[in-house]
Amino acid sequence: MVLLTDPLHVKSLVLRNRLVLPPMLTNLAAYDGSVTDALVEHYLKRAAYVGLVIVEASYVSEAGKYVEKQLGVHCDDMIHGLKRLVEGVHEMGACVVLQIVHAGSKSTLQNTIPLAPSSDGRSKELSKKEIGIIVDEFAKAAERAILAGFDGVEVHGAHGFLVNQFFSPLTNRRLDDYGGALENRMRFPLEVVEAIKDVVGNKLLLYRIGADDLTPGGSTVEDAKVLAKKLEEKGVDIIDVSGGVCGSRPAQFEGVEGYFIPYAHEIKKAVSVPVIGVGGIRSYEYANRILMEGYVDLVAVGRQLLKDPMWAKRALDSANLFKKV
Ligand SMILES: Cc1cc2nc3c(=O)[nH]c(=O)nc-3n(C[C@H](O)[C@H](O)[C@H](O)COP(=O)(O)O)c2cc1C
């Protein structure tokens, strides 16, 4: 029986427990994307008890930037600051990975037309050559993260950003071999993973999967299961299950505890690598129960840890109560 306090061995790493701080944009980076004192402090406050910290979506290139004070891993100048962040989190005893993202059509770079799988009027359809360049940018970003000392990287493949835009039939209407059938819509996500795999070596490669677009005509959990199996084959070490194409908490889930857990459970049945579940978790009992019942391998708690960093300690303490049951 697994509880929040149980460690997890993945490749060469040991996560000291099953609690994860999921990636959450802080708007605390400098305008050039570099780490600030405030950003380090934010993470240190929340790293004292969790097993794994996934640092917020960081842009792989200027053209893939989403918001103004977003963390960047787009150039070598970022490595120094990221190193400071990693060292701080490691001192607190947690493992730490960096989520990397290209915003695609959601990019906000001034005076530039955003790039996307298909044009939506505002964005421009990527050529195959441009796709190859972006795959390379992901690999370079991962390389910088590893140089900075991160225990791995997470590809942001959810929430309607570029990787998800390729996977979703809502945003991918291409007629070439990157669009159409599921096999084609998986091509870009899998190319990104393949390129990064070589770079991470014995560190961790995580993938945040968009389990369901929750929109008519969008991708479904059945599609996500196929992708999850392919990701495992390509060497992804942990699958982090989220969903929805517009933000991370679709309106219908307001107030629902564990809203993506049934999706994570479905994905878990399809793969043998560890799976992270997330979505509206705020009770210790619920967090322990989904581990005990084998729905997920790791539990990510976002908003609750933003509000109350000490929630993590109390949740871990509560696991002892379950041991006695
Ligand atoms: C302020 C904020 C920023 C977020 N930024 C990211 C992000 O950078 N990358 C990502 O994959 N998800 C992001 N998310 C989604 C969270 O990782 C998480 O999946 C979501 O908040 C659901 O978990 P929760 O209900 O425990 O907060 C963000 C959520 C919030 C509230």
Question: Does some domain include residue 208?
Answer: yes
| Torsion sign, CA atoms 138, 179, 222, 248 | positive
- Structure tokens of 189? 């996500």
Range of the domain at 246: 8-324
pLDDT of residue 30: 98
pLDDT of residue 220: 96
* Phi and psi at residue 118, to the nearest 5°: -135, 150
Question: Does some domain include residue 221?
Answer: yes
Give the distance (Å) from ligand 1 centre to CA of residue 217: 24
pLDDT of residue 54: 99
Alpha-helical regions (H) of the chain: 37-47, 79-91, 128-147, 162-167, 182-185, 187-200, 221-233, 261-270, 284-292, 303-307, 311-324
Q: What integer is the mean pLDDT of 185-193?
A: 98
State yes or no: pLDDT of 227 exceeds 90.
yes
Among 54, 51, 153, residue whose Cα is nearest residue 93: 51
Please state whether 24 falls in left (phi above 0), alpha (psi between -120 and 50) or beta. beta
Nearest CA to ligand 1 atom 28: 24
- Quote the percentage of the chain above a pLDDT of 70: 98
Nearest CA to ligand 1 atom 30: 24
Question: Does some domain include residue 2?
Answer: no
pLDDT of residue 324: 61
Give the distance (Å) from ligand 1 centre to CA of residue 323: 30
Give the distance (Å) from ligand 1 centre to CA of residue 281: 12
Least confident of 105-109, 156-160, 161-165, 247-251: 247-251
Among 22, 122, 145, residue whose Cα is nearest residue 73: 145
Residue with tokens 């915003």: 103
Among 59, 218, 242, 55, residue whose Cα is nearest residue 150: 55
Burial class (CB in 10 A: 0-12, 13-18, 19+), 307: exposed
Q: Within a 13 Å sphere around the CA of 265, how many CA atoms are in the beta-carbon half?
A: 13
What is the DSSP annotation of 300-321? Answer: E--HHHHH-TTHHHHHHHHHHH
Distance separating alpha carbons of residues 214 and 36, to the nearest angstrom: 36
The pLDDT tens digits of the residues spanning 243-255 come to: 987 666 777 888 8
- Quote the percentage of the chain above a pLDDT of 90: 91
Q: What integer is the mean pLDDT of 152-179?
A: 97
State the average pLDDT for the chain: 96
Nearest CA to ligand 1 atom 5: 24
Give the distance (Å) from ligand 1 centre to CA of residue 300: 10
Q: What integer is the mean pLDDT of 290-295?
A: 97
pLDDT of residue 247: 66
Ligand 1 site-directed mutation target among 20, 25, 275, 311, most atoms within 8 Å of CB:
25
What is the domain-level CATH number for residue 89? 3.20.20.70
Nearest CA to ligand 1 atom 14: 24
State yes or no: pLDDT of 274 exceeds 90.
yes
First-to-final CA distance of the chain:
11
Q: What integer is the mean pLDDT of 149-170?
A: 97
Question: Does some domain include residue 308?
Answer: yes
Question: Does some domain include residue 3?
Answer: no
pLDDT of residue 248: 63
Distance separating alpha carbons of residues 245 and 227, to the nearest angstrom: 17
Total domains, the chain = 1
The pLDDT tens digits of the residues spanning 28-71 come to: 999 999 999 999 999 999 999 999 999 999 999 999 999 999 99
Which residues are near ligand 1 (CB < 6 Å)?
22-25, 56-57, 99, 156, 158-159, 208, 242, 248-249, 278-281, 301-304
Burial class (CB in 10 A: 0-12, 13-18, 19+), 208: buried
Among 227, 247, 229, 237, residue whose Cα is nearest residue 302: 247
Question: Does some domain include residue 1?
Answer: no
pLDDT of residue 323: 79
State yes or no: pLDDT of 325 exceeds 60.
no
The pLDDT tens digits of the residues spanning 103-135 come to: 999 998 888 899 999 998 889 999 999 999 999
Give the distance (Å) from ligand 1 centre to CA of residue 313: 20
pLDDT of residue 257: 94
Nearest CA to ligand 1 atom 29: 24
Give the distance (Å) from ligand 1 centre to CA of residue 1: 28
Is residue 320 very low, low, confident or very high in pLDDT (cuts 50, 70, 90)? confident
Question: Does some domain include residue 141?
Answer: yes
Give the distance (Å) from ligand 1 centre to CA of residue 271: 24
